[in-house]
Amino acid sequence: MDHVQSGMIMGAAVLTLATIIIVTVIIQLSATWRARAQLAREDEYKKLAEQATAASTSAAAAGQRLADDISETKTRIASIEKLLREVA
């Protein structure tokens, strides 16, 4: 093997190694980007879930207030009916 052939083989080996390293770096950067995107989506879902929980709690409290108001109204109507029966 002469000096030129060994230089060509060494050059090919270096290019192959460089290509492997570049591809590996690109794959790792891509995986990192996907992981960050996934975390961002999970954070958005968490915020959405917290908002839904707060809205549900608020709706439940409003429903309870409405039920209390209806109960009070029924009691008042019963009192008025009783008073009207006594007067009549």
Mean pLDDT of 4-11: 88
Model pLDDT for residues 33-44, shown as the tens digit of each residue: 999 999 999 999
Model pLDDT for residues 32-84, shown as the tens digit of each residue: 999 999 999 999 999 999 999 999 999 999 999 999 999 999 999 999 999 99
Backbone angles phi, psi at 2, to 5 degrees: -95, 180
Q: pLDDT averaged over the chain?
A: 94
Q: What is the pTM of this model?
A: 0.56
